[in-house]
Amino acid sequence: MRVNLKRMEMLPGQKRTVAEEVNGSPEWLAGMHSQLDGGIAVTLTIEHTQFYWVILGQISAPVRLTCSRCLDEYSRVITGSFERIAVAPDAKVLREAADEVYLPLEEGSVDLSQAIEETLVLNIPMVPLCREDCSGLCPVCGQNLNHGSCSCKVETIDPRLEKLRELL
């Protein structure tokens, strides 16, 4: 998502709000066992100062996740926020650190795709659960215990203690 800040013609001290829906790339969530279910709603609040622009972003995206206990797919809306500072090429403020700290303006615009991707990925749960009380799978037969019970006996004993069971 590129935002043309020069075209907004903002005076120092002014704020603007921009809302847009962007399409995410499928490889953003590759390896996380999840995928986007639609577009990403992005709301930006942009404040112009003398030499730079402060960009506060809010994202909201429907994502299809795989439960880590029962392996069922479910949908969830992922929300998050980010803050970036864009610097004009002729800015004198911290110019030596512009590559490390600030986003550079290129022909008056700034690319926020990486900020959106990072925010989305960082807000996906590390252990996604379809619900808090998910029962998971039976370790013997693999039955999803959320959909029904099974008749398996789940008495596992540590093989190192198997000899003690023979004494009982």
Q: pLDDT truncated to tens, each residue of the chain (168 aa)?
A: 888 877 777 777 788 899 999 887 767 777 777 888 888 999 999 998 877 888 899 999 999 999 999 999 999 999 999 998 888 776 665 545 444 457 777 788 888 888 888 899 899 998 999 999 999 998 888 889 999 888 887 677 777 887 887 777
Report pLDDT for 99: 44
pLDDT of residue 100: 47
Burial 28-65 (b: 16+ CB within 10 A, else e): bbeeeebebeeebbbebebebeeebbebebebebebeb
Q: What is the pLDDT of residue 101?
A: 55
